[in-house]
Amino acid sequence: MRITRRTLLAGAAAIPAAIGLDRLAASPLMGGTVFLYDPALPDAGQRRAAAGWQARAIEGDRIRFAREVIALAPARIEGFTRQADALLIEEVAAEAGYRRAQTKVEGPAIDWVLERRL
């Protein structure tokens, strides 16, 4: 098989789509901030959602939920959750290159921030 410049460029153009980078580029969160909250906690995400934040209630399996959020590649993830949820989400995020930037414990809940490592 003979490789021409045209076939080489066509193949190179198809690589990002094949590995899913086109999906990340279309992500509304890429490079932005997302706020995760536990809807069972009083007034957890309502204030920040009302202020125009990209807020998402934590639902279902915490690990799958965290992987879905991290797949959107936000630069910063903030949360107001129970401590167990914060720990699970932080561990999934650490695997993807995030680190804890800030935490503040408020009774049974924790206010936390994760940022992408440079």
Residues 73-97 have pLDDT tens digits of 999 999 999 999 999 999 999 999 9
Helix or strand run (H / E) with residue 103: strand 98-106
Q: Counting Cβ atoms within 10 Å, is residue 106 exposed (0-12), middle (13-18) or buried (19+)? A: exposed
Q: Tell me, what's the pLDDT at 13?
A: 60
Tell me which residues of the chain have a pLDDT lower than 70: 1, 5-30, 44-52
pLDDT of amino acid 24: 41
50 shares its domain with 105: yes
Residues 35 and 19 in one domain: no
- Note down the domain range covering 57: 31-116
Q: Whole-prediction pTM value?
A: 0.69
- Asked if residue 13 and residue 64 are part of one domain, the reply reads no
Q: Are 37 and 80 members of one domain? A: yes
Residue of 29, 40, 18, 112 lying closest to 69 (CA atoms): 29
Q: Are 61 and 73 in contact (CB under 8 A)?
A: no
Query: What is d(CA 57, CA 37) in angstroms, rounded to the nearest whole number?
Result: 5
Residues 99 and 81 in one domain: yes
